[in-house]
Amino acid sequence: MIEIIREMFSAPILVRALIVGILVSLCAALLGVSLVLKRYAMIGDGLSHVGFGALAVATVANLAPIAVAIPVVILAAFLLLRLSSNSRIKGDSAIALISTGALAVGVMAVSMSKGANVDLNSYLFGSIISVSRGDVAVSVILALAVIFMFVFFYTKIFAITFDESFAKATGTNVSLYNMLIALLTAVTIVIGMRLMGSLLISSLIIFPALSSMRIFKSFKSVTICSAVISVATFIIGMIISYALDTPCGASIVCVNIAAFSVFSALRAIKK
């Protein structure tokens, strides 16, 4: 076991993947608590598909993938947020529309450029090889931004997550904070989807929050616990992925399934 961990740290690619992954897991877990409680979890899923489309098109067109994907996904995040808060258009169908649409555009782009060096599989299911030095820098900045936001605006995030109408009535700029959360979610997804794959990245947002909600009863404990679960399951998943030579994204999600089962069982026992 220790041998495996030592081996992992000797490969620069793996170290990069670990740094990016830990930071992204942390951000996803923090944002995830708010998104899940606000019933916005599917937005994360929709955004990852938009991210896939943007990355595929950018790669085929020979543009810097991250530089294209981040603004496109941020735009999509604002759009989905607006659609969800607008009761006249049903948010869930809008998400399905946008995510399948983006997926289709991405697949078309990839298949039309036979010459380009595009590995569809690694986009959909993730790979550690695709994590670049640039990703490390962006994820450090992102993580700092998310942690800063959570510490300094913690009380406001709680208020808008628990009750938007009350927060609005008492003078909190709800749409500003919603946009901030959407923006950070978008960046988290773009960075994380290289590692986790666009089909699996939303699990990082949803699983830790749901697992910790099985047991914990206050917002603070749920938030802290979900950050811990997220980082822990990521590290365990990476070790399993390395030891068994399985794809890292799927390994991490499987560890999350296990964590969720354990927490659900604990809740059942407590009752």
Sites of contact with another protein (CB under 8 A): 37-39, 151-156, 158-159, 162-163, 165-172, 213, 216-220, 222
* Residue 35, φ and ψ in degrees, nearest 5: -65, -45
Nearest distance, CB of residue 164 and another protein, angstroms: 9
CB of 226 to another protein, least distance (A): 10
Query: How many CB atoms lie under 10 A from the CB of residue 245?
Result: 8
List the structure tokens of 64: 């810097």
Nearest-approach distance from CB 163 to another protein, in angstroms: 7
Indicate the length of the chain as a whole number: 271
- What is the nearest approach in angstroms of another protein to the Cβ of residue 152? 4
Please give the Cα distance from 183 to 252 (Å, whole number).
24
Q: Which residue has the tokens 């009350």?
A: 166
38 vs 82 by CB, closer to another protein? 38
Closer residue to another protein in complex, CB, 133/217: 217
Nearer to another protein by Cβ, of 55 and 160: the residue is 160
Backbone angles phi, psi at 241, to 5 degrees: -60, -40
Could you identify the residue written with the tokens 């670990």? 18
Q: Which residues contact 157 (CB under 8 A, 6 or more apart)?
A: 34, 149, 150, 177, 181
Judged by CB, which is closer to another protein: 198, or 223?
223
Measured CA angle at 120 (ends 119, 123), to 5 deg: 95
Q: Closer CB to another protein, residue 9 or residue 166?
A: 166
Other CB atoms within 10 A of residue 97 CB: 13
The residue type at 30? L
Minimum CB separation of residue 221 from another protein in Å reads 8
- Choice between 91 and 249, CB closer to another protein: 91
Contact 22, 192 (CB under 8 A): no
75 or 169: CB nearest another protein: 169
* Least Å from the CB of residue 115 to another protein: 49
The answer to whether 103 touches 50, Cβ cutoff 8 Å, is no
Residues 237/18, Cβ–Cβ less than 8 Å:
no
Closest contact distance (angstroms) between CB of 38 and another protein is 7
Least Å distance, CB 258 to another protein, is: 22
Q: Please tell me whether residue 153 adopts helix, strand or coil conformation.
A: coil
Which lies closer to another protein via its Cβ, residue 9 or residue 152?
152
